[in-house]
Every structure is written in structure tokens, then in C-alpha cells.
Amino acid sequence: MAKIIAVCKSREKGTRKEPGTEGLLKEDFGLVDDAHADCCTHRQVSLLAIESINKMRDAGFDVNPGDFAENLTTEGLALASLPVGTSLYIGQGIILEISQIGKDCHTGCAIFRQVGKCIMPKEGVFARVIRGGVVRPGDKLEGNGV
């Protein structure tokens, strides 16, 4: 079963995000109290699989959920292989829609400065919040057609 491993947020852009016990995903906005939340963008929430983070760990880097500035760390779903437009269902009714796979990386981000490489440009996923709600580590995660 795929699930949410961590819910992370930060007050400033370009920094690592801190994992918490829960977060509120607001429809057409993002994760409340996170620097990247915005009603006017298709990149309201960022997701990264723990499997991607583990690749960096296996390469000898000391990294954890939130270090790549992702809002939601997932497990058990190959996020980067899902097409744009895929709906993700979290917990008891949250719906996200994948809006972008990967991104252009800027060399000023915290993880790039620390290790000289970042996985978000190829393996990070961005989504719009279609239906909001409270998200917690351990919540079930499903994708349509997956």
C-alpha cells in the first residue's frame, strides 16, 4: 500500500522543510503555512518518494524527508512515472492533480549547496489541490489508473 511518510513545510523558499505531525491542504492553494503555497500557480504542493531519497542515502548522503523542500514524502508509488493530469487520492478525501514532473533546479537551494546535487529536478512531482483536507504521515495514497 502506498502512503504518506512525511508532511513538511517551511516559512521561506529555497530552504529545507521541517516534517510535522500533520498539515492542512487547502483547495486551489497548497499546504497552509508553507512558503510555496499559492493560489495562482500549478505548483501548489510538491511530492517526492522516499525511494528517491534512499537513492541519495545509498550514495552516502545524510538526507531525510523535507531536505529536498518537498511538502509530501511518499512511499510505494513511482511518482515520477505518473503522467501530468493523474489524480492522487490521500486519506479520507483529499485529491491532488499532478501538474508537473520535475523542475529546473536553481543552484541556490539548500540541498544543492550541501551535496552538490539534487533529485527534485528529475524525480520531484508538483500538484494542484483539487479537494483539501488534513494530511498526516501514514495516510493512504492512491493514484487513478495506478
CATH H-level, domain 3-143: superfamily: PK beta-barrel domain-like (2.40.33.20)
Taking only the tens place, the pLDDT of each residue in 4-61 is 999 999 998 877 899 999 999 999 999 999 988 888 888 899 999 999 999 989 988 8
Which residues on neighbouring strands pair with residue 141, listed in sequence order? 90
Which residues have C-beta within 8 Å of that of residue 116, sequence separation ≥ 6?
none
- pLDDT at position 56, please? 87
**Cα–Cα–Cα angle for 130, 74, 58, rounded to 5 degrees:** 150
Taking only the tens place, the pLDDT of each residue in 99-123 is 998 766 655 556 666 666 666 667 8
pTM, full prediction: 0.89
Residue 85 has pLDDT above 80, yes or no: yes
d(CA 141, CA 104): 26
- pLDDT at position 40, please? 80
